[in-house]
Structures are given as structure tokens and as C-alpha cells.
Structure 1
């Protein structure tokens, strides 16, 4: 599934003029998202006695990587193009135990009133040809400065521990071979991706069975 809601009238790029401003605003947006996620996780633990989030990784993409991405997509290296066309300058990755947690977390984030979801790409229901699985969201949220409010985009990736392990290895391999890994390695990676999907499904089924037994015992 892929939803694209980026045709909204949000003005994102007009308030950023230098790399220092870009860096400040995207770091501020990441801090806000991280705080929201921590609060949601703590609330879930309090209400359900269960933590859906294993850990969180966050980063602001470096200027060199942004420039390379702009050139690769045929855009001039300007601040305006950087903010308008590069959606993953600020990125946060949420790692959970089970696939059911992924959609639960995505729903909790989407329900935040000051977050607008711009794009959703569900690579779990529709994996990439490589076998890559993850749930991606591009969101916009307001960053409150002393003299203005700036809407900033953040890419959120939500995946299981197993998906993250596979994606990390796949990234290293593609980086090493500059995106041209030997066919047999890509084939093996794809087979491993299917094993990861099967493992996630079996672990979720096992967890559901354990919870059902616990509920029966409690009653």
C-alpha cells in the first residue's frame, strides 16, 4: 500500500535559508518525535503492561549525503531543493518485536493531532523486489521557535528486530558493491528475506498463543 498526501498546502521550505537552520530545525523535529514515542511507549507499558518498542534510532542526514541524493535525482544543490525534495533529512527508526506492533505504533503516531501524515509506504504488505520489508511514513510536524513556527518533515521507519537485521546487512552489501552485488548474493538475500518474514510470522503466532494462555489463567 502506498498513500501520497503530499499535495497538501503545508509550506515547509520557505523558513529555511542556511544549512545551520536546516540542521537546527530537523534536529528539533527529531527530538519532538522521540519524546512523543517515549511517552506513548511509557503509556502503553502502564496500561497494557507491555512495551511495543524495543529501541529507537534517530539521525539527521549529512550535507554530503543530501547533495548526492539531489544530484542523483537531477536537482540542483540548493537549500530550497534540499528541503522540498529530500524527505529523509531527519530520520527515525523504531524497532519492535512483532509485526502487529508496527501497525499499532503507526496508528498511535498518526493519531497525534500536531502530526500530519504526508506519505505511507507499506513494504511489509508489499515488499520490495529485493525482499526488503519495513513500514515507512513521511510526516510533518511543527517546530516552535522564538519568532515563528516551521513545519518540518521527518521520515519514520518501523520494523521488527528481524527486519532490521536483514536491512542492515543488505545495506552493507549494496554499499560495498555500489548497488551492483553479484546475482547469487542478491538471490541469497532474497531467500533470507523470506526466512525473516516466516520467522516474524511464527514468533507472532507463538506470542499470541502465550498471551491467550496467560489471559485464560488470569480469568
Structure 2
């Protein structure tokens, strides 16, 4: 028993000495450096896209005295999430393959006041000569079966590094406040476990119905805004 304990302790010490050695740490750093660089490039791409939307929001504020954007959220996928997607998509594990096959590593979510602002901002963004549209999915006109609504764009924008210009992919999601509220709650509820199948079916129907109510609210609020603007024009 004492010998086994001694051997286990000696094994742990050897492992720790190996792991903490300068040579091992250098190898780890060499392998992670390209990954860290790629993640930094995606963060730079996010900043580029955020700036474009902030400029558009400022322009509309000056020109029309209103801000079509309520808020902007951004994130870069964690490396753990990227690895899971590599496994799910069954693509080669290389930086080149990840860059080519995974389009949503960098994500920007734009929360708009009204539904028409979504399409207006999307058109303004895509008209810019340094933005290339790769993919467009309109889940507002064609909601997902569960009720999800949003406009998704996969775009490519250039980032300007010290010695090169590098194109990077960014997923842009545009939603109204109501769409974002529904999607955020649905996301939290989706991961609740140990719910009986019959109850899960009922809740899924409730979520679809709530999505319809949310869409109706967007339409009614937009109609109220239009009526208020028409009333103001009559007075002036």
C-alpha cells in the first residue's frame, strides 16, 4: 500500500515537472498563438461591423431625428463551442477549415425599434462597397417552426492589420425589441430538463403562440408610430 502511494506521488511529480517545463510551455504557446490570433481577428471584425451600425444610427439621428437602433450586442464564440461545432459538422480540425466552414464565430446582434428598421439597416449595410453578402436568411418573413423571428446575414468585411488587409466573416442578426425578448426567454426555457413529453408539447405550442403575439405587437406599434407621424404632419 505504501509502495503504491509512493509510485502515485512520484508519477504526479513527473507529470507536473513535464507540464511546467519551459519546453512544454513553449509548445503549448506555439500551438495556441495562431488560435489566439484568429480570435483577435474576429474581435476586430466585430468592431468594424459595430462601427458601421453606430455610424448609420448617428446619421439617422441627425437626418431624421430618430435612432433606429436600440442596442448592439456582440460576441466571439468560445473555443469550446467552436470545437463542438467542428465535431457536429464533421469538418477537419484546422484553422483554415474552421475559418472556411464556420460562419458564426463572430456575431453582432442589432436590436431595432421597428421591423421596417431591420430591412432599412440591412440594405444600408449591404450597399457599402467593402461589405460582401455571403448568406441571407429571413426568419421574419419565414419564421422557424418554433416561432423564432430574426433577419440573419453572413457578411464578409475587411480588417486592416499592420501589413495586410484580411477579409473576415461575421454573422449579423437584426431583431426588434419584441423579437429579442421572445428569443432570449425561449433560449433559457429550451434548456430546462426533466419535463414530461406531454407538457413539453404544450409549452412548445405556447411559445409559438407567444411568438405570434410578439409579431402582432410589432405590427401594432409600427402602426401607432405611423399614425402619430401622420397626425404631426397635418398639424405642421
Q: Which TM-score bucket, shorter chain as reference?
A: 0.7 to 0.9
**Residue of structure 1 equivalent to 2:7:** none
Question: Which residue, 180, 188, 202 being the options, matches 1:184?
Answer: 202
**CA separation in 1, counterparts of 2:143 and 2:70?**
22
In the TM superposition, what whole-angstrom CA distance separates every residue of 1:53-108 from its partner, at most 9, and x where no partner exists? 00000111110011111211222332122111111100000001110111011011
The TM-score, its normalising length taken from structure 1, stands at: 0.88
Q: Structure 2: any 5+ residue segments left out of the alignment?
A: 1-32
Question: Structure 1 or 2: larger helix share?
Answer: 2
How far residue 203 of structure 1 moved from its aligned partner, in angstroms, is 0.7
Name the structure, 1 or 2, with higher relative contact order (CA <8 Å, separation 6+). 1
Map Cα deviations across residues 194-218 of structure 1 (whole Å, 9 max, x no partner).
1001111111111111111112222
Paired residue secondary structure (2:147)? coil
Stretches of structure 1 that go unaligned for 5 or more consecutive residues are 1-16
Match for residue 234 of structure 2? 216
- The aligned counterpart of 2:103 is 87
Q: Which residue of 2 is the match for residue 69 of structure 1?
A: 85
Q: TM-score, normalised by structure 2?
A: 0.82
Could you tell me how far apart the structure 1 residues matched to 2:230 and 2:75 are? 38
C-alpha RMSD of the superposition: 1.6
Q: How many residues align?
A: 201
Which of 1 and 2 has greater Rg?
2
